[in-house]
A and B are shown apart, each in its own frame.
Chain A
Amino acid sequence: MIRFTNVSKRYPGGFEALTNISFHMEKGAMAFLTGHSGAGKSTLLKLIALIERCTRGQIFLDGENVSDIHRRRIPYIRRKIGFIFQDHHLLYDRTVYDNVALPLVIAGYRHQDIGRRVRAALDKLGLLSKERMYPITLSGGEQQRVGIARAVVNKPMLLLADEPTGNLDPDLSREIMQLFGLFNEVGVSVLIATHDVELIHSMDYPVLALDHGRLAATAEDYA
């Protein structure tokens, strides 16, 4: 699903956030990405979603080399990925329903299909009763779940989550991680960046550990 070969990322300022990263994550796998703050976790996820472009090496997504892909094709690649952001990135002037519907509207789904899919996603995340509410009136955990609903509504083949439990208490964190497990069970590949070591150890998934932009352990080490 994801293959990095000798990928490096140097930011415009000259700082090298990732150095010579190589790893492979199988289709349908689920893995954690860990490391101290500033280790390069967010950078790595952004490279996959083409929010940042790598400065060296090659990145393959679902067999397609995306490291030198044309700017115009990026949106279409992003539609295959569900990205869950630490700070939600919800639209606060739109209802929960409209937020979750956005990826489908962007992808040009039919009106009727949008309604059906949005309700299914909201139902799965226990948000059906909140569809007419605005995100600002929801709790942090609920907002995070709206973000997840939006990420999965388009049935992406890959889910990327950047510190999805960053602001949540342990019980809620566990609940959200279990949700990711459920998506993984139906065939979605999942990569979760987190520095919550306790949570990682309590769950049985391979771990990619970053240390100052270098890969300290690969998924195989934990397999």
Chain B
Amino acid sequence: MGKRRNQRVARSRLQDWLPRLQHPRIYLQRHAQVALDSLGRMYRNPLPSLMTAAVIGIALALPSSLYLLLDNLHRMSGSWDGQASLSVFLKEKVPAAQRDALAGRIRAWEEVASLQVITPEQALDEFSTHSGFSTALEALDENPLPAVLVVVPQTAHTGPAAAEALQKKIKLLPEVELAQLDLAWVQRLNAMIEIARRGILLISALLALAVLLVIGNTIRLEIQNRHDEIVVTKLIGATNPFVRRPFLYSGLWYGLLGALLAWLLVSAGFWLLAEPVAALAGLYQSDFTLQTLPLVTLGVLLACGTLLGLLGSWLAVGRHLSAIEPS
């Protein structure tokens, strides 16, 4: 008896669904229409819609730009990683001939991959072109800068311990004033980047939650505003998915619009930063340029926004829509 009933219910459910299976085009057409309707509804109330989208945009722009900054930092430190080097400052009174002999000796060490000599004249030259102190430097009658040997260790000796051993060995040479391991602060920077990455992850999670709440609240208000309409459509045979659909599309549009705004904000911010960063990179003799959102990241941003919008409205709809039943 129960089985017969189940069969009958299954059959009638199939009959309910049959039109949808038979006419997928109509089904898709209806989706497109609802999507456009939801967009039109936002367009007819431009100010509140834009405000919601702007809040979402700012909330998404914050973690995106932080992430992007971090990515650039990482790229920057990464470009130094491979050529972890020792800057060896020589004592002031070391004559040029002794300096070159020393350079030749160190170059011959098995730990050393390459060595570059920066004479005091070269150093002064560079410093005056990049620092903006050229006139001040001209006022000096004597070059205050020491000669520097830039020592790049063999790859086997770039590890922290080996590099430090090399540093100690060089420090013991009588001509040497100071041997600075550039690797140390690269490592420190990397450690900090790792901490920042976690921090950003946390901030992203919190802001994603904020986006969910903003969209959820917007959709809740929209449901309230359309309470009577929901009741009427349910009275004349609308299914829950039918009633749900326009609100889900609203959420989707809000998320997408917010993500697009976020992208605009981030792009504008980085455009403003690009020039000073290029100048700074010039100071460090680097051809580093600030990288704005690559297309893949833009895709991820848009997808995240859309998904958050959909999820936020889904939650709101689930909480508030089922409570509305005609009576």
Contacts and interface: CB of A to CB of B under 8 A. Distances in A.
B236 A110 contact: no
B29 A106 contact: no
A83 B13 contact: no
A70 B9 contact: yes
Contact of B236 (A46, A70, A78, A109): A78
A170 interface: no
B234 A52 contact: no
A176 B23 CA distance: 37
B73 to A, nearest CB: 53
Secondary structure type dominating chain B contacts: helix
B234 A75 contact: yes
Interface residues of A, number: 28
B135 interface: no
A106 B242 contact: yes
B192 interface: no
Given A70-B9, A73-B13, A108-B26, A89 B235 contact: yes
Nearest to B16: A76
B236 A108 contact: no
A91 B235 contact: no
Given A51-B326, A51-B327, A52-B327, A108 B235 contact: no
B229 interface: yes
B3 to A, nearest CB: 16
Nearest to A83: B235
Contacts of B242: 75, 106
A123 interface: no
Interface string B231-260: 111111111101000000000000000000
Interface of B: 9, 12-13, 16, 19-20, 23, 26-27, 29-30, 228-229, 231-240, 242, 326-327
